Amino acid sequence: MKNKGTVYIVGSGLGRISDLTLRAYQLLKTADIVFYDRLVNDNLLQLTKEHCELVYVGKKPYASSHTQEDIESQLLAAAQKHQVILRLKSGDPFVFGRGGEEGMTLKDAGVTFEIIPGISSVINGPTYGGIPVTYREYSRSFHVYTAQSKDGETDFDWHSIVQFGGTHIFLMGLRALSNIVRQLQIAGMPETTPIALVQWASRPNQRTVIGELRTIEEKVRKAQLTSPVVIVVGDVVDFSESLNTFERLPWFGQRVGFPTEARIEQMIAFESMGAELVLYPRGTKRIQKESENISWVFIPSIESMHSAERFFSREIGLKFGTVSDQVRESIDITQSKFWIGEVHHEDRNYISQFWNEL
């Protein structure tokens, strides 16, 4: 098959811009078309160029969705029309991401392709929950399982899992939690073994629920967790309370409207304080859907001020912030609150103190 372009199978981590590899960021900025999965953060799509085509090919567990064959057919067709084709996946494409299958299909068809690694939820999920998957004297190994399979069964050798020791990580396992807990105990794992579930790791709705095998189901029911979750079993779970720094960041849980033309350093500065960015102006549907959950709108320039005026209504009580004296002088500050000063990582303490005063 003679193809026009190259297909890049790209891992995007858990969705924060600051967790992207530089290569993934570069490809997002230059892609002609992006095929993206259900768990890919919308923000990453807003980083693409103006006329980039965005194609949703997500799969929802236990529901009808795009077939793998259909996705691969679309990739093959796109390779005949476009120069830079992105297959954007959450996490890493080779860790339960079917990136290997897609790569083999492209290879067999003679299509040029490249694999770009991402940080897998296997590592990122526990880390955002403050759980080290290895820790000297506690766990010298970790083992990863998917709670979903092609036939819908989780037919593990549970006795071997228990004998392995170390840390055990189950992905896509919320619905299978009861079976996982039961089978581990039947196989001989003590009922007091620590276990944690990290929901939507790295996002503003992240929640970490910790218990023991004997108590975790009731705790999860009370917490009303939703997918996706990462399940971690082992003694290292006990470190979460001390090492979970993400959920203690000053802006954790806050959504901040942010213009797509802002500098990447400014975006990372806000993410480093725990904020989730909601990029505008291209994210119009998301803005409309989540505007009531946005705490601040960041306006670095006159151009982005005009975009903000189109996409945000003052009726929902938003606060506006800027680093530009020109912007500050152009807006009725009696209706908004501002901070002034360059937004760098070093200014996080200053900005967070100002935030807490509002």
Helices (H), the chain: 22-30, 42-46, 68-78, 99-108, 121-128, 158-164, 177-186, 216-223, 240-243, 264-271, 284-290, 302-311, 325-330, 348-356
The position carrying tokens 């392709």 is 113
The residue among 65 and 262 whose pLDDT is bigger is: 262
pLDDT of residue 260: 83
Tell me the three state secondary structure of residue 19: helix
Angle of helix 99-108 relative to helix 68-78, nearest 10 degrees, comes to 50
pLDDT tier at 354 (50, 70, 90 boundaries)?
very low
CB 210 within 8 A of CB 196: yes
pLDDT in tens, 93-127: 999 999 999 999 999 999 999 999 999 999 999 99
Structure tokens at 237: 């779970």
pLDDT in tens, 1-51: 667 899 999 999 999 999 999 999 999 999 999 999 999 998 899 899 989
Rg (CA), the chain: 22
Q: Which of 131-145, 152-166, 208-222 shows the lowest mean pLDDT across its residues?
A: 152-166
**Whether the predicted pLDDT of 150 surpasses 60:** no
pLDDT of residue 4: 83
Q: What gap in Å lies between CA 89 and CA 34, rounded to an integer?
A: 10
Cα-based angle 220, 249, 88 (whole degrees, multiple of 5):
70
Q: Percentage of residues in the chain with pLDDT exceeding 70?
A: 82
pLDDT of residue 325: 72
pLDDT of residue 285: 47
pLDDT in tens, 72-82: 999 999 999 99
pLDDT in tens, 299-314: 777 777 777 767 765 5
Q: Which residues pair with 8 in a beta bridge?
A: 86, 114
pLDDT in tens, 270-296: 888 898 888 876 544 444 555 557 777
Whether the ω angle into residue 281 lies within 30 degrees of 0, i.e. cis, is yes
Q: Average pLDDT over the chain, rounded to whole?
A: 85
Tell whether the torsion through CA atoms of 60, 64, 69 and 75 is positive or negative: negative
CATH for 122-246? Answer: 3.30.950.10
The residue among 60 and 231 whose pLDDT is bigger is: 231
Cα-based angle 351, 356, 358 (whole degrees, multiple of 5):
100
Q: What gap in Å lies between CA 216 and CA 195, rounded to an integer?
A: 7
pLDDT tier at 264 (50, 70, 90 boundaries)?
confident
Spot the catalytic one: 37, 189, 267, 305: 37
**Whether the predicted pLDDT of 205 surpasses 80:** yes
The answer for residues whose C-beta is within 8 angstroms of residue 338's C-beta and 6 or more apart is: 320, 321, 322, 328, 331
Spot the catalytic one: 32, 89, 92, 172: 172
Q: What gap in Å lies between CA 227 and CA 198, rounded to an integer?
A: 10
Structure tokens at 84: 């830079």
For the chain, domain boundaries:
6-119, 122-246, 249-356
- Strand 255-259 relative to strand 207-212: parallel, antiparallel, unpaired? unpaired
pLDDT of residue 2: 66
Q: What is the pTM of this model?
A: 0.87
**Whether the predicted pLDDT of 333 surpasses 70:** no
194 closest CA partner among 151, 246, 253, 135: 135
pLDDT of residue 11: 97
Spot the catalytic one: 4, 59, 219, 319: 59
- Is 172 designated active site? yes
pLDDT tier at 353 (50, 70, 90 boundaries)?
very low
pLDDT of residue 300: 76
pLDDT of residue 1: 61
Domain 6-119 classified CATH 3.40.1010.10? yes
Could you please state the CATH topology (level 3) that the domain comprising 249-356 is classified under.
Rossmann fold (3.40.50)
Q: In what order do the strands lie in the sheet with 294-298?
A: 276-280, 255-259, 294-298, 319-321
258 closest CA partner among 63, 8, 4, 42: 42
**Whether the predicted pLDDT of 200 surpasses 90:** yes
Q: What gap in Å lies between CA 159 and CA 182, rounded to an integer?
A: 12
- Is 59 designated active site? yes
- Is 337 designated active site? no
Q: Which residues pair with 278 in a beta bridge?
A: 257
